[in-house]
Amino acid sequence: MENYRKVKVLEKEMKVPIPDLPSDIIEMKVKDGSKIRNIMGFAMGKMEAQNVRQIAFSGSGKGLGKTISCVEIMKRCLQDLHQITKICFRETEEIWEPIVSDVGLDSLTVKRNTPAIFVLLSKDPLNPSEPGYQAPGSYDSLWIQELKEESVGQKRRRPGTGRGALHGRKQPKAPAGRGDTYKKS
3-state SS, one letter per residue, for 25-86: CEEEEECCCCCHHHHHHHHHHHHHCCCCCEEEEEEEHHHHHHHHHHHHHHHHHCCCCEEEEE
- 133-145 in b/e burial notation, b at 16+ Cβ within 10 A? ebebeeeeeeeee
List the single range of 14-28, 93-107, 117-131, 169-183 with lowest mean pLDDT.
Answer: 169-183
What are the sequence ranges of the domains in the chain? 15-91+118-137
pLDDT score at 150: 81
pLDDT > 70? residue 46: yes
Amino acid identity for residue 31 in this structure:
K
- Single-letter amino acid code for the residue at 27: E
pLDDT for 27 beyond 60: yes
The mean pLDDT of the chain is 82
Of the candidate ranges 52-61, 109-118, 133-142, 173-182, the one whose mean pLDDT is the lowest: 173-182
> Measuring CA to CA, which residue among 13, 25, 24, 11 is closest to residue 119?
25
Nearest to 55 by CA among 68, 64, 46, 63: 46
pLDDT of residue 158: 56
Q: How many CB atoms lie within 10 A of CB 72?
A: 12
Task: Kindly report which listed range (30-44, 112-126, 127-141) carries the lowest average pLDDT score.
Answer: 127-141
Q: State the fold for domain 15-91+118-137.
A: Translation Initiation Factor IF3 (3.30.110)
Chain segment 74-115, per-residue pLDDT in tens: 999 988 899 999 999 999 999 999 888 777 888 899 999 999
Phi, psi of 42 (to 5 degrees): -70, -50
Residue 173 has pLDDT above 60, yes or no: no
State the pLDDT at residue 65. 93
Provide, rounded to the nearest whole percent, the portion of the chain with pLDDT above 70.
79
Q: How far apart are CA 22 and CA 63, in angstroms?
A: 25
Q: Which residues of 148-162 are buried (b: 16+ CB within 10 A; e: fewer)?
A: eeeeeeeeeeeeeee
